[in-house]
Structure 1
Amino acid sequence: MPRLTTIRQRLRLSNVLTLVVPLVVCVLVGLACVGVFLAQVHGGLDLGISDAEDMTTLGRVVSESAGGILAASSDEPARDSALSVLAQQVEGSGMTLKVYDQAGDVVFGSGEPSQEQALLAATRPLDDKNGALVSAAGTSLYLHAEGAYHVALFGSYTEARGDAIKTAALMSALVILVAAVVSTLAMDRLGRRLVYDRLTDGLSLLADGVDRVADGDLAYRIDYPGQDEFAPICDDFDEMAERLEEAERSGVADERRRRELVAGVSHDLRSPLTSIQGYVEGLLDGVASTPEQRDRYLRTIRRKTQELSRLVEDLFLFSKLDLDDYPCDLATTDLATTVHQIIEDLSPSYDEPAIRIVETPAAPAASGAAPAVGCRVDRALLQRCIANVVSNAAKYAAGGTLSVSVGEKDGVATVSLCDDGAGVPAEERARLFDVFYRSDPARQHTGSGSGLGLAIVARAMRRMGGTAEAAESPSGGLAILLHFPATSLAREDDTAGE
């Protein structure tokens, strides 16, 4: 039998067995009972004749045969020999043959039946040419007059045979009923092992899993060994629990980042606000008594106000990008040309002592011209990304050089911005894109920026379908790599022409 793998197959087999096995058992028991009845009917289970009519018929035949023998032979030995042969023939049916004369003396006898005299006394007054049949104490006598003799046939017939058959039929019905009940119970037991236990085991595992997850044990997994309908359900449950566990971890991380964001914003807002408040109070209290002092105070207040404005702007942009709610106008363009234009726009904002920006051209193509690198970008977002990286390099690699290059490899276009500063340890690079992360743990130097610059870069790249990566530059400094999926400029141009 093939291995059962589904509950549906087990249910079908259980139903078939529940119907067929009791039916087969009842049929077999019924056939056995029919065999018993047939043997009973054919006299194979008792030694007596079947009923009174049969005994009367047999008595007449024996009487006529004995009468013929008695009339035909006057020689006593020959007569007795012939009667002995006749007696032997009826002994197989449990009968005893006796012949009496008119005086009641025994002329021939093959045995000594019980209740002989009582039966003779009851039979003789009834005897006539047709004979008489009487019974007493389980013994029957058929007496028939044959000339000067009375031929007696002693034996028994089954008067209660009908009751016996009824009893046998009742017992047979009882046996069939017992067989049906036993076979049904056996099939029920088999069905429980085959189907019910598998169903309850699977449901119990699922119920336990639901309870464990409801109690907060998201690491619980169902170890279901079967390959039936419960297997995919348990797999789905495990996948659900894994996603819930991942969502919980993500929720904890989000909550941690949210708290860091609130703490960072509070700290970065407090410093310029405190400065502004101090300078305003100095102006109100007359501390700045000369025009030069008042002018210096006002310039400081304006600078701090501008810092607050930039911080609020960065927070707004970061929130929009983090919620994927920032409008993004993607257009296919030559990435190298776009980056060159952005660098030209940004260069006047940074003087030589702060950072020196150097564009490194890509390797020329076979035609001698610089290869075009096509990709879809939002120019404003890309400019913000590059501006934030340049600003970061101006603060942490001041006086150094920032090399900018564009290339393509394996269908990925990359903008590389590499400084020659002190660099960042490998274990800290992954955190550079976290909210408010600075290499200064104490956050002492708030004038160095809001801490949102690279976090904005990462989310802006994600909004454009790209990624941002921090690596070590060839000179040992920090390299920020902006990756975009490359596209074909020619196909885009053809589409535009149509």
Structure 2
Amino acid sequence: MNLKQRFLTQSTIILIGTIVITCCFGFVYTYFYSLLSKSPDSSGVKHRAIVVMENDRVLYKSEDFSMFQIKEILMNISVGNNYYEYNNRKFTIDEEDFTHEDGDKYKIITLNQVVDENYYYKSLIAFVFMTFLIVFIIASLIVQKQNMNNIMIPIVDLTEKTEKLRNGELDTAITDKGYGEIRELGSAIEQLRIQLKNSLYYQEKVDDNRKFLISSISHDLKTPVTSIRGYIDGVLDGVADTDEKRDYYLTKAIEKTKMIDTMIEDLLLYSKLDLKQMEFEKEKIDIVKYMKDCIDDSLTDFKLENKSIVFENKLSAETFVIIDVEKFKRVAQNIVDNAKSNIEEQVGQLKIILRETSSSVIIEFKDNGKGINKQDLPHIFDRFYKSDTAREVKGSSGLGLAIAKQIVEGLDGRIWAISEASQGASIIISLKKMKDKKH
């Protein structure tokens, strides 16, 4: 109900309610007036009196009338006047004559007070008018108080808070108080405040990210760029004076350019993930088959470095998860590459273990490398964080695990690490599972 309809409804209710209450009081007034009109007045005259006469002699008279009053009544009867006035009151006179068997004549005179209709209607109108006025004022005050609490006060509050909002104070919450449209307005302004605050936070975060990324990537790019320049200068200056040396220098320069390309690619991917600009193409897959494919992609590299990769499936049945196939492969590859660079030849091993809980699939990447220091463990998923030179991936941008974390969380999963120094490390991922093949 909008304000216009509400005001119209309130006015109608006040008017109808006032009329109904006034009518009720009018009926009550009429009822009590009727009762009071039958009671004796201060002069002792009742509203009804009887006089009984025998042969022009008063045989019985009502105690309410004196003899003088009775004579006046008889005089009015004799002249055909059927009314008698006393103390500003008017009575009708009814006469009934009859003759007894013995020949005596009797007369019964009955007097009934005539209600002064003018006085009655005037008093009734005055009473009704005063009642209507009082009830209308009381009802209006009640409605006015409600409107004050639900319209005026919320509007004043909104005005003050929007002024603060205009001045850049975004921490003051705006409550949605008042009637429908006022409450909706307050709710809309509150949503605007939240969006402005989020936008400001988002903008600050973007600015901080840009500064941090520029600073970090500039530092990380400096080394390969310097190396490329050195190799090219060596070729141009004649340091590489044989074909074999020139090929070596140029090969190294190409490797460094590939390293730069990887860094830039990781940087762009992380930026999109961090700013929520990357869309996920989710689909349901068999997690066992998927992880076997991921392992096959890395198996050759492990064998070339005399390292092993082992897969253990502890799932009780065929299990499905919903992931973005390409992006999650990037997660697995980053973790596998990180583990491969931190285990030793011959004895180095990465074990990938699948197990489950009632609602999740757990993927554990467990290596037997040097592990991660306790003070470094909370930070390994931070961007550009490298715990120590021994665990750095050659040619790494420092964004591998940060990208993995962003992707896993984008798939509504969790990722964490457990480790003790010199006892290897485990990167663990938890994904929601589906127990059957039906969507």
TM bin, normalised by shorter chain, reads 0.5 to 0.7
Taking a change above 3 Å as real, the CA distance of residues 204 and 423 of structure 1, as seen in their structure-2 partners, is farther
Matched, 1:220 2:166: no
- 2:175·2:190 contact (CA, 8 Å) conserved in 1? no
Alignment correspondent of 1:273: 225
Name the structure 2 match of 1:315.
267
Offset at 1:347?
1.5
> Take 1:430 and 1:234, find their aligned partners in 2: how far apart are those partners?
44
For the residues of structure 2 that align with 1:375 and 1:44, how far apart are their CA atoms?
A: 99
Deviations 1:121-158, CA, capped at 9 Å, x for gaps: xxxxxxxx98xxxxxxx9xxxxxxxxxxxxxxxxxxxx
Q: 1:385 touches 1:457 (CA, 8 Å); kept in 2?
A: yes
Does residue 324 of structure 1 match 2:312? no
1:269–1:308 contact (8 Å) kept in structure 2: yes
Change in Cα spacing, 1:421 to 1:313, as seen in structure 2 (3 Å) is: same
Cα distance, 1:95–1:412 mapped onto 2, change above 3 Å: closer
Q: Which residue of 2 aligns with 1:406?
A: 353
2:311 equivalent to 1:357 = no
Q: Summarize the alignment of residues 349-428 of structure 1 with structure 2, pairs less than 5 Å apart.
A: 351-352=305-306, 356-359=307-310, 361-362=312-313, 375=321, 380-395=326-341, 401-410=348-357, 411-424=359-372, 428=376
- Note if contact 1:260-1:435 (Cα within 8 Å) is conserved in structure 2: no
Q: 2:419 aligns with which of 450, 465, 472?
A: 472
TM-score, normalised to structure 1, is: 0.56
What CA distance in whole angstroms lies between the structure 1 residues aligned with 2:150 and 2:255? 74
Change (3 A) 1:283 1:378: same
Deviation of the 1:177 alpha carbon: 1.8
8 Å Cα contact 2:309-2:349 kept in structure 1:
yes
2:158 matched to 1:207? Answer: yes
Asked whether the equivalents of residues 284 and 321 of structure 2 are also in contact (C-alpha less than 8 Å), the reply is no
* Residues in 1 aligned to 2:430 and 2:173: alpha-carbon distance in whole angstroms: 39
Alpha-carbon separation, structure 2, partners of 1:248 and 1:13: 48
Q: Which residue pairs with 2:215 in the alignment?
A: 263
Larger strand share, 1 or 2: 2
Q: Does 1:338 align with 2:313?
A: no
1:450 Cα deviation (Å)? 0.4
Which of 398, 401, 404 in structure 2 is aligned with 1:451?
398
The answer to whether residue 29 in structure 2 is matched with residue 29 in structure 1 is yes
* Identity across the alignment (%): 16
Displacement of 1:417 after TM fit? 1.5
**d(CA) in 2 for partners of 1:479, 1:471:** 5
Could you tell me which amino acid in structure 2 is paired with residue 26 of structure 1?
G
Structure 1 unaligned blocks of 5 or more: 1-6, 51-57, 70-81, 98-128, 131-137, 139-160, 366-370
Q: CA RMSD in A?
A: 5.5
Contact in 2 for aligned 1:205/1:222 (Cα 8 Å): no
Residue of structure 2 aligned with 1:91, choices 51, 66, 76: 66
Retained in 2: the 8 A contact 1:328–1:463?
A: no
Q: For residues 366 and 192 of structure 2, what CA distance do their matches in structure 1 show?
A: 43
Deviations 1:204-258 (A, max 9, x none): 487268625565334526497x9x9799979967994896466765554454334
Letter in 2 for 1:391: D
Contact 2:173 2:190 in 1 (8 A): no
Residues 240, 364 of structure 1: CA spacing in aligned structure 2 closer, same or farther, 3 A cutoff?
A: closer
What residue identity is the alignment partner of 1:27? F
TM-score, structure 2 normalization: 0.62
- State the one-letter code of the partner of 1:308: I
Once residues 89 and 406 of structure 1 are traced to their aligned partners in structure 2, the CA distance between those partners, rounded to angstroms, is 118
CA distance in structure 1 between the aligned counterparts of 2:434 and 2:420, rounded to whole angstroms: 26
Which structure has the larger Rg over C-alpha atoms? 1
* Separation of aligned partners in 2, 1:304 and 1:165: 117
Kept in 1: contact 2:158–2:186 (CA 8 A): no
Q: Could you tell me how far 1:301 is from its partner in structure 2?
A: 2.0
Query: Do the aligned residues in 2 keep the contact of 1:418 with 1:479 (CA within 8 Å)?
Result: yes
- 1:27-52 deviation line (CA, Å, top 9, x unaligned): 3334455667x56xx9957799x9xx
User: CA separation of 1:278/1:258 partners in 2, compared to 1, >3 Å: closer, same or farther?
Assistant: same
Aligned to 2:312, the other structure's residue is in SS state coil
Distance 1:231 1:402, change over 3 A: farther
8 A Cα contact 2:302 2:340, kept in partner: no
Is 1:347–2:302 an aligned residue pair?
yes
Letter of the 2:292 partner, please give it.
T
Instruction: Report the alpha carbon displacement of residue 348 of structure 1 after superposing the two structures with TM.
Output: 4.0
Matched residue, 1:155: none
**CA distance, structure 1, for counterparts of residue 136 and residue 187 of structure 2:** 38
